[in-house]
């Protein structure tokens, strides 16, 4: 028996089925339609998410250009543009296959197929969404080592990070690797890693590479000289960039459900609706960002001699709160998101103090925001995940066991997350050290003193922007 869509609509309207064969045919048609339109909805959702996450590159560009000296404007902008462009080709040729290709599920170390988009047509929206994340990881590094890293070293670390270092971590945490919570067997501590949108996978990976680069390259001239404050171009750009990043984060976190609705890939009769999870994720993201912003401003005011209400603290507080909630955004309750944002502010402030104490120059504060709060972000679900939200976002069968310890969980998920943090730090730290030291002893990692003092724009990019160049007096 064959049924058209009109037949299905008629039968549903009449609420009458004559025979068992009618019921079977109707069920088959509904499953077919759900699969067809579910795939369309998934593609649209992922493409929408990819656009939002990619627009974060505009936010990073404005944030970073606002925080560097005006004489380095073109240099930092071309790096942001190249992060997306280099990342796209590296992700196409090698990165996506390593990140999302199949691997031995027991070892789960690295993907071994799907290179150069050798994937079904239906998977290309997923490739696009994941590429936008890869570009974000590279941009974290470029902001930290701005104003003194050589362009050749920048190109090399951007290629290596997006082709190999970052994709391996993606495979571990999300795509069937040893730490993933979506594995069918051999779950780490019986729960796997709860890092829903990448506090560890994306942000900690980028921050560790940034920290290594900043240490090996060294601080900018005058950065830690007493009485000297290096100029920043525009707090306006910094603030607008931060707000753009906040907006893009709704794609980063919310669209990491990877679908709004559809049939299970393992059965033909289980229908999933993740729209409520996506909405919940965006709500917790908002609460954490807002809480961390206000807390960071308050802490800065209380600890500064002049009790300054600092817009820079507000901006970095927003970003710190966003990074802090990214791992647990789908699995914590709103009150948990409030606590995560509140505590995330202290982690951020500790990161700032650490860099100052160690005299490590991080131009945009990438290490405190993405590193310290990335670590906290991965720890937080192990404390604040509720069984109800875990069941909605992950699996109800292990929700009680894998809840946070403040919500009656066994602590196994927290253990898995701690192991993952150590693995990401070790993997990224060792490979980044080899990478930057290799550059240091070959092509060089730092521009000359003359270039740094005169500005990067003059040396590589055709001269300073107009507002940084003195206008000659014209005779009338």
Spatial separation of the C-alpha atoms in residues 429 and 423, rounded to whole Å? 10
**pLDDT score of 230 more than 50:** yes
**pLDDT score of 455 more than 50:** yes
User: Residue 474 — pLDDT band, cuts 50, 70, 90?
Assistant: very low
Torsions phi, psi for 275 (to 5 deg): -65, -35
Contact 47, 128 (CB under 8 A): yes
pLDDT at 370: 98
pLDDT at 41: 85
Spatial separation of the C-alpha atoms in residues 158 and 161, rounded to whole Å? 5
SS3 for 345? helix
**pLDDT score of 339 more than 60:** yes
User: Residue 268 — pLDDT band, cuts 50, 70, 90?
Assistant: very low
The CA distances from residue 365 to 172, 359, 472, in Å, are 27, 13, 37
pLDDT at 264: 55
User: Residue 193 — pLDDT band, cuts 50, 70, 90?
Assistant: very high
Spatial separation of the C-alpha atoms in residues 245 and 139, rounded to whole Å? 12
pLDDT at 451: 95
Q: What top-level class would CATH report for the domain 5-468?
A: mainly alpha
**Residue % of the chain over a pLDDT of 70:** 87
Average pLDDT of the segment spanning 216-243? 93
Query: DSSP letter string over 258-279?
Result: --SEEE-SS-SS-EEE-HHHHH
Among the residue ranges 244-248, 272-276, 467-471, the one predicted with the least confidence is 467-471
Contact 405, 418 (CB under 8 A): no
Three-state secondary structure of 282-320:
HHHHHHHHHHHHHHHHHHHHHHCCCCCCCHHHHHHHHHH
Sign of CA dihedral 49, 55, 61, 66: negative
The CA distances from residue 375 to 231, 344, 379, in Å, are 30, 10, 6
Contact 45, 277 (CB under 8 A): no
**pLDDT score of 463 more than 50:** yes
> Which residue, among 193, 269, 135, has the nearest Cα to 424 in the 3D structure?
193
Q: pLDDT for 26-64, tens place per residue?
A: 556 555 555 555 678 889 999 999 999 999 999 999 999
Give the containing element (helix H, strand E) for 460.
helix 456-460
SS3 for 385? strand
User: Residue 460 — pLDDT band, cuts 50, 70, 90?
Assistant: confident
Among the residue ranges 84-88, 99-103, 218-222, 268-272, the one predicted with the least confidence is 268-272
**Residue % of the chain over a pLDDT of 90:** 78
pLDDT at 273: 82
pLDDT at 306: 86
pLDDT at 263: 60
What angle, 0 to 180 degrees and rounded to 10, lies between the N-to-C axes of helices 412-440 and 205-217? 30
Spatial separation of the C-alpha atoms in residues 154 and 436, rounded to whole Å? 10
Of how many residues is the chain composed?
A: 476
Contact 204, 211 (CB under 8 A): no
Other C-beta atoms closer than 10 Å to the C-beta of 440 total: 15
pLDDT at 357: 96
Average pLDDT of the segment spanning 110-121? 92
The CA distances from residue 257 to 1, 33, 329, 345, in Å, are 37, 21, 11, 26
Average pLDDT of the segment spanning 278-283? 98
The CA distances from residue 248 to 61, 303, 309, in Å, are 13, 31, 26
Other C-beta atoms closer than 10 Å to the C-beta of 348 total: 29
Q: In this structure, are strands 271-273 and 261-263 parallel, antiparallel, or unpaired?
A: antiparallel
Q: pLDDT for 157-184, tens place per residue?
A: 999 999 999 999 999 999 889 999 988 7
pLDDT at 184: 77
> Which residue, among 366, 196, 367, 415, has the nearest Cα to 285 in the 3D structure?
196
Average pLDDT of the segment spanning 69-74? 95
User: Residue 2 — pLDDT band, cuts 50, 70, 90?
Assistant: very low
Spatial separation of the C-alpha atoms in residues 1 and 94, rounded to whole Å? 47
Q: pLDDT for 344-377, tens place per residue?
A: 999 999 999 999 999 999 999 999 999 999 999 9
Q: pLDDT for 118-147, tens place per residue?
A: 998 878 999 999 999 999 999 999 999 999
């Amino acid at each position: 028996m064959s049924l058209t869509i009109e037949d299905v609509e008629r039968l549903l309207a009449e609420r009458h089925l004559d025979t068992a064969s009618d019921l079977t045919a109707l069920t088959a048609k509904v499953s077919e339609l759900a699969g067809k339109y579910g795939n369309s909805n998934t593609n649209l959702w992922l493409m929408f998410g990819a656009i939002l996450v990619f627009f974060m590159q505009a936010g990073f560009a404005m944030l970073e250009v606002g925080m560097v000296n005006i004489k380095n404007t073109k240099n930092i902008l071309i790096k942001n543009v190249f992060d997306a462009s280099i990342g796209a080709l590296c992700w196409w040729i090698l990165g996506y296959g390593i990140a999302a290709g199949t691997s031995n599920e027991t070892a789960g170390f690295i993907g071994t197929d799907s290179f150069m988009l050798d994937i079904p047509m239906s998977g290309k929206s997923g490739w696009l969404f994941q590429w936008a994340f890869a570009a974000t990881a590279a941009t974290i590094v470029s902001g930290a080592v701005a104003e003194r890293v050589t362009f050749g070293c920048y190109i090399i670390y951007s290629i290596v990070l997006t082709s190999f270092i970052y994709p391996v971590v993606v495979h571990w945490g999300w795509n069937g690797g040893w730490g993933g919570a979506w594995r069918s067997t051999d779950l780490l501590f019986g729960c796997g890693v709860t890092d829903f949108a990448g506090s560890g996978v994306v942000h900690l990976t980028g921050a560790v590479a940034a920290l290594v680069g900043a240490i090996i390259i060294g601080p900018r001239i005058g950065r830690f000289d007493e009485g000297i404050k290096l100029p920043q171009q525009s707090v306006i750009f910094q603030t607008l960039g931060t707000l753009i990043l906040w907006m893009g984060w709704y794609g980063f976190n919310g669209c990491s459900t990877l679908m709004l609705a559809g049939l299970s890939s393992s059965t033909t009769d289980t229908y999933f609706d993740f729209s409520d999870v996506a909405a919940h994720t965006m709500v917790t993201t908002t609460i954490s960002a807002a809480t961390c912003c206000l807390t960071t401003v308050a802490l800065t005011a209380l600890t500064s001699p002049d009790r300054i209400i600092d817009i820079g603290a507000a901006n970095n507080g927003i970003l710190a709160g966003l990074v802090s909630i990214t791992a647990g955004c789908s699995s914590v309750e709103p009150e948990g998101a409030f606590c995560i944002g509140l505590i995330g502010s202290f982690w951020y402030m500790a990161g700032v103090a650490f860099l100052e104490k160690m005299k490590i120059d991080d131009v945009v504060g990438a290490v405190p925001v993405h590193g310290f709060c990335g670590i906290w972000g991965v720890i937080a679900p192990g404390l604040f995940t509720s069984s109800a939200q875990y069941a909605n976002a992950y699996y109800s069968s292990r929700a009680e066991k894998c809840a946070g310890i403040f919500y009656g969980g066994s602590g196994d998920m927290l253990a898995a997350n701690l192991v993952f943090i150590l693995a990401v730090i070790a993997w990224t730290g060792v490979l980044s050290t080899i990478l930057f030291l290799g550059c240091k002893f070959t092509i060089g990692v730092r521009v000359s003193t003359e270039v740094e003092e005169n500005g990067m724009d003059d040396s590589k990019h055709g001269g300073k922007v107009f507002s940084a160049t003195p206008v000659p007096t014209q005779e009338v």
